[in-house]
Structure 1
Amino acid sequence: MGKKRRWPIAIACLALVTACGGGRTGTPPSATVPAAGSSPGRPSTSPAAAATGETVVSPAWKPVKGAKLEGSAALLDVAATGPGDAWAVGYKGSAEDREGSPALQHWDGTRWTQTTVSPSDARHLVGVSAGGPDDVWVVGNAESAYAAHWDGGRWTGWHPFGVADDYSLSDVATTGEHAWLVGRTPSQGVIMEWTGRGFRNALRADGYFTAVTAKPGHVWAVGTDAPPGTPGTPMVWHGTAVSGPDIQSWQRGRTPEIAGGVLRRVWMVTPSDVWAVGSVSPPDGAAEVPLVLHFDGASWQQVQVPVPRGRLDGVTASKPDDVWISGIDADHSGQVLFLHFDGQKWTPSYGPLLRRERADQQYPESDDIGRTGITRVPGSSRLWAVGSVGWGDAEAAFILRHN
């Protein structure tokens, strides 16, 4: 397309017209940009990036119609427990004069339907984790941070920090009886544990946490070691059980010193095979560079991927030689970038073009992908991807499926 684009500061809200039909047409109502910490959206820097536009589409990725989300809406995260059970979270109904309300969708094997969570508890849902059909956690933010658990019959919600309005949550991971929540306080990153009886502070560290992954006896949390808006380096903390099932020891991982690096998602295949993804913002204001780190049981190493500019938002894996990453290639910013690792090499592919550039569009980013998330479906070869396309008044949510 040859136009200059800036990477916006935070993700606003959206609602998608998919290529498969059945979606809404026209421009959504105007949307507000969430306050810092209210939802982990676009990066804090805004370097220019020229998009070249459309590229070859992978036929394996198909748009799937989600539940209708009124106004500007977004889906920010997705989790699945099997072919007939998946959850996607985000927000809807956002506009210049309102924050919007939570969006929570469920896949029952046939279609996506909307589930209700109280708008007074969370305007934006930002993370979801599912250990089974009767063990689903979501986290979000409004005046105060919010977490809720689905037991197969009903949702139960809490405000883990009470009424404190300077705290926020960004992700959650469940291990059955326990759940791990990450985010930040006004001055530090925080990891909290749901013990089955209540919440407790597990760890605080300089910087802030964006994502967490967990299995019994192991927890990995990632982010950056500087406050929002300040360049830092990638941050990883590892919690382990010393004796019994409880996490008792925390140690910061020795990651490469990458100035301007932030990790946005993490996935544990095994305790000795962990992947974390994000981006690096160069100090000269150039476009972001994709960032991939891998832990092999001994050390964290940076892994090079065949995309020179862009950002990585999601990672999932079924085994060591089947790793998938979702993100944005700045040179093809109108299509979701997917990277697949087969144990030997990385192969990039791209989802469908979700919106074409218009000469009269309100924002240069109105046809760009804004955010992505990805998850594998246990018991099958299927993948789900969610995200957003557009910016400001013209944002929209999407759901893609890989069979």
Structure 2
Amino acid sequence: MRITRRWPVAMACLALATACGGGPETPAEGASAPRTSTMSEIDTPTPVPTPSPVPASEWKPAGNARLTSAAALREIAATGPRDAWAVGYQRSAEDREGTPALQHWDGVRWTQTAVSENDAWHLVGVSAASPSDAWIVGNARGPYAAHWDGLRWRGWHPYGDAEDYHLTDVTTGRAGTWFAGRSSTQGLIARWTGRGFRTILRADGQFLSITAAPGHVWAVGSDVPASTNGPEQGMPMIWHGRAVSGPEIQSWERITLPEITGGVLRDVWMISPSDVWAVGGVISPDGAAEIPLVLHWDGTTWGRAGVPVSRGGLQGVTAFGAGDVWLSGADDSQPGRPLFLHFDGRSWTASYGPLLRAWREEQPYTASHLVRVTRVAHVPGTSRLWAVGSVGEGDDEDDFVLTRG
């Protein structure tokens, strides 16, 4: 029997590189020294006990992504009820990297689009602005990015076969297309110029997620480089880019937060320039436990929000508006069930997806029954939500797709 130690939800360690196809790398324009943000409620809030037993779930399985064994979905993006993209991997195991998974929802069913494993072993990020404008990112021997124009996917290897560079996230929309990632020692932010990729910022640590709107870019992660063994040694990292005059992002600054040792931010969502959410976890020094970490920007300061879960980690955030924010992740007290947290503008409510797996005495891994990752996305123009992720690990990992509303 293969038994492995259970670790908390792993921090995404996927990457970016030096200047890519066409555009020369330049230093960050207008980069400034770190700015200290007075964080409210920085002490760990007293959690509200997780309700038990769990009420019937409002989240239901949605279609069948038809992935092949040892599979996971890592992110989903939707532009409407008949257009959504989900990315991840399949055929993965302890002794092989696996092959990329790219799924499309047309309002009726999920269909798979082929992506060569020569381009990416795993796809890790997706963003869509319209049915004819979507981007995906992934990694193999080097980072990979591809664009959907409504008819076909066109891909690039922005940094060649740079194995120590990874792309971790992409965002596209009215503010253009931006990428987050890392090398072995630094976090990287790049953008699509229309003809190539240009590295805009390098910072010690690693970036795991990025969000943008006209005049603003926010990127989050950890100040621990990928080459460092263990996210528990670092603290959360937030960088802000903004336009000073005109539409171009010209000024970059790192927000210096009070110490949250062991903290890492895995996802960020901007509702408006004065309403930004970032989520992740605080990992114990021995790596055996994690508590949720939720930070909020109100236009003046970053504050820490207390949520009704005491043990577990968060990986996803999306919002319909300021009074309708959704987070996703895992709650240690409800193993096998995806966790969802809803903020209505005043308070938080925890809910759960269906039980995906129960503990089995002879399961191949100690974590085979645990939710590994849960990501969430809203469907514009509706009240509907998508959630994707995986349960289990190694060659005992399975993907899931859920919907609400």
User: Which TM bucket (shorter chain)?
Assistant: 0.7 to 0.9
* Match in the other structure for 1:6: 6
Q: Is the 8 A contact 1:384 1:399 kept in 2?
A: yes
What is the distance in 2 between the residues matched to 1:182 and 1:160? 13
* Match in the other structure for 1:70: 68
TM-score (norm 2): 0.86
* Match in the other structure for 1:357: 359
CA RMSD of aligned residues (A): 2.1
TM-score (norm 1): 0.86
Cα distance 1:57–1:390, how it changes in 2: closer, same or farther (>3 A)? farther
Cα distance 1:353–1:293, how it changes in 2: closer, same or farther (>3 A)? same
Kindly report which structure 2 residues correspond to 1:185-224, keeping only aligned pairs within 5 A, or say none: 185-224=183-222
* Match in the other structure for 1:240: 242
Equivalent position amino acid for 2:197 in 1: F
- Partner SS state of residue 94, structure 1: coil
- How many residues in Structure 1 have an aligned counterpart in Structure 2? 365
67-76 or 203-212: bigger deviation: 67-76
Cα distance 1:133–1:238, how it changes in 2: closer, same or farther (>3 A)? same
Q: Is the 8 A contact 1:54 1:335 kept in 2?
A: no
* Match in the other structure for 1:158: 156
* Match in the other structure for 1:113: 111
Q: Displacement of 1:255 after TM fit?
A: 2.7
75-84 or 87-96: bigger deviation: 87-96
Equivalent position amino acid for 1:7 in 2: W
Cα distance 1:58–1:313, how it changes in 2: closer, same or farther (>3 A)? farther
Q: Is the 8 A contact 1:258 1:280 kept in 2?
A: yes
Identity %: 61
Q: Displacement of 1:176 after TM fit?
A: 4.5
154-163 or 307-316: bigger deviation: 154-163
What is the distance in 1 between the residues matched to 2:387 and 2:136? 17
Q: Is the 8 A contact 2:15 2:181 kept in 1?
A: no
What is the distance in 2 between the residues matched to 1:80 and 1:317? 13
* Match in the other structure for 1:19: none
Q: Displacement of 1:282 after TM fit?
A: 2.2
Corresponding position: 1:332 with 2:330: no
* Match in the other structure for 2:29: none
Q: Displacement of 1:177 after TM fit?
A: 7.1
What is the distance in 1 between the residues matched to 2:122 and 2:200? 24
Corresponding position: 1:345 with 2:347: yes
Corresponding position: 1:377 with 2:375: no
Specify which of 117, 126, 129 is matched with residue 128 of structure 1: 126
* Match in the other structure for 2:142: 144
Equivalent position amino acid for 1:310 in 2: G
Q: Displacement of 1:95 after TM fit?
A: 2.8
- Partner SS state of residue 383, structure 2: coil
Corresponding position: 1:295 with 2:297: yes
- Partner SS state of residue 384, structure 1: strand
Q: Displacement of 1:116 after TM fit?
A: 1.3
Q: Displacement of 1:68 after TM fit?
A: 1.0
Deviations 1:159-201 (A, max 9, x none): 1112211100110001247211111012100001111111101
Q: Is the 8 A contact 2:65 2:401 kept in 1?
A: no
What is the distance in 1 between the residues matched to 2:163 and 2:107? 38
Equivalent position amino acid for 1:101 in 2: T
* Match in the other structure for 2:306: 304
Cα distance 1:93–1:72, how it changes in 2: closer, same or farther (>3 A)? same
* Match in the other structure for 2:279: 277
Corresponding position: 1:315 with 2:317: yes
Equivalent position amino acid for 1:287 in 2: A
Cα distance 1:310–1:177, how it changes in 2: closer, same or farther (>3 A)? closer
Unpaired runs of at least 5, structure 1? 12-33, 40-51
Q: Displacement of 1:10 after TM fit?
A: 4.9
Q: Is the 8 A contact 1:255 1:301 kept in 2?
A: no
Unpaired runs of at least 5, structure 2? 17-49
- Partner SS state of residue 393, structure 1: helix
- Partner SS state of residue 236, structure 1: strand
Deviations 1:245-300 (A, max 9, x none): 22111111233321110000000000110000000012255510100000000011
Q: Is the 8 A contact 1:57 1:352 kept in 2?
A: no
Q: Is the 8 A contact 1:57 1:351 kept in 2?
A: no
* Match in the other structure for 2:402: 400
Q: Displacement of 1:8 after TM fit?
A: 5.8
Specify which of 98, 102, 105 is matched with residue 104 of structure 1: 102
* Match in the other structure for 1:46: none
Specify which of 253, 256, 279 is matched with residue 254 of structure 1: 256
Corresponding position: 1:81 with 2:79: yes
- Partner SS state of residue 253, structure 1: strand
Cα distance 1:220–1:177, how it changes in 2: closer, same or farther (>3 A)? closer
Q: Is the 8 A contact 1:144 1:159 kept in 2?
A: yes
- Partner SS state of residue 100, structure 2: strand
Q: Displacement of 1:333 after TM fit?
A: 1.9
